[in-house]
Copies of this chain bind each other. A is one copy, B any other.
């Protein structure tokens, strides 16, 4: 099934500008054709095209499925963006395919990458959402410092490679209801100060298995753990 990204306005659906060319020029859809589209908020719709020009695709629509391709957990991964951007991009794609609610890029003491443009990540997320047949778009937050992040919201877990007692993430989340937030550190791990701050806030230190994983691999293992939780 080919999915488009659209929006609803005054009882009609409209495709977003970036989808029109593919719909009209590549797939040669025209008035009278039906397409499937998502708005990003969750549902799957069927659209009956009434107008199809180079500037506009719109028409009537019907709701097909309320929570399309939804998953049964709410997972936020706060991750220090990797030095090589393609590693972060891979993570976004894979996390969306499996199912993730929100990605928060965090700026840590040891972060080498200190600037992140969200545009390309959002494009990758949209493409993976459509490809993996989901109705809800993952939210990609603006870059925030580690300290602001743990001050500003409830965080459940910190996955770090340092010393000290840690719990298996898989066991911790096996029976946890409600939203889950886990933080994954940069290439050089969280700093000792950051780990101390997190523990003081009551954030549970977890490990994701015994291999030394790269940042984006650790984040993926966390997502895969939730994805497979109830199988």
Pair A94/B220 contact, Cβ less than 8 Å:
yes
Chain A: residues with Cβ within 8 Å of the partner, total of: 30
A154 lies within 8 A of chain B by Cβ: no
Contacts of A134 in B (CB 8 A): 211
A168–B229 Cα gap in the complex (Å)?
11
A69 lies within 8 A of chain B by Cβ: yes
Pair B224/A228 contact, Cβ less than 8 Å:
yes
A171 lies within 8 A of chain B by Cβ: yes
In A102-150, which residues have CB < 8 Å from any B CB? 131-134
Pair B213/A97 contact, Cβ less than 8 Å:
yes
A231–B211 Cα gap in the complex (Å)?
12
A7 lies within 8 A of chain B by Cβ: no
A217 lies within 8 A of chain B by Cβ: yes
In the complex, which residue of chain B has the Cβ closest to the Cβ of A134? Answer: B211
A202 lies within 8 A of chain B by Cβ: no
A18 lies within 8 A of chain B by Cβ: no
